[in-house]
């Protein structure tokens, strides 16, 4: 997920791997392994911020960079891991995902519920 996302960003900027690495200060051999999914994505928040700035990512695209990096390391994104409501619901989601094949509609409904966690209650 991260590997494809970051590689596509680099290609959209028409940068070779070596040119890109020279500009961000990263070893090309190691970055190649990240883009191929051999090595996990970087976890350093400062470096991820640097990548977001380099590619001009804002809003959802920037969040996608951070989320895909966390998932590529088999971690939950930090902001979700700190959300008590989300963490309480997650085990039930895991059980449902393991015990049944969830439909696209069920996954979309779950995503809608997660989105509600970050929106103010309109009835308050």
For the chain, the domains span 2-76, 83-117
pTM, to two decimals? 0.77
2-76 CATH: 1.10.260.40
Cα dist from 84 to 2, 4, 40, 90, 105, whole Å: 26, 31, 27, 10, 25
Distance from chain centroid for Cα 58: 13
Q: Is the pLDDT of residue 9 over 60?
A: yes
**Taking CA 70 as the corner, what is the angle to CA 68 and CA 76, rounded to the nearest 5 degrees?**
115
| 56-89 per-position pLDDT tens digit | 999 999 999 999 999 999 998 888 888 888 888 8
Q: Is the pLDDT of residue 10 over 60?
A: yes
Handedness of CA 81, 82, 86, 89 (dihedral sign): positive
Query: Mean pLDDT throughout 25-51?
Result: 96
- What is the phi/psi pair of residue 6, to 5°? -70, -35
């Amino acid at each position: 997920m991260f590997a494809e996302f970051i590689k596509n960003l680099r290609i959209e900027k028409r940068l070779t791997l070596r040119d890109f690495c020279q500009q961000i200060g990263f070893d090309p051999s190691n970055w190649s392994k990240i883009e191929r999914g051999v090595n996990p994505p970087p976890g350093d928040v400062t470096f991820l911020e640097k990548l977001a700035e380099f590619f001009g990512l804002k809003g959802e695209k920037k969040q996608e960079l951070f989320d895909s990096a966390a998932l590529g390391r088999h971690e939950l994104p930090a902001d979700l891991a700190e959300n008590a409501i989300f963490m309480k619901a997650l085990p039930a989601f895991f059980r449902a995902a393991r015990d049944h094949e969830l439909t696209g509609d069920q996954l979309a409904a779950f995503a809608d519920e997660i989105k509600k966690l970050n929106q103010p209650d309109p009835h308050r």
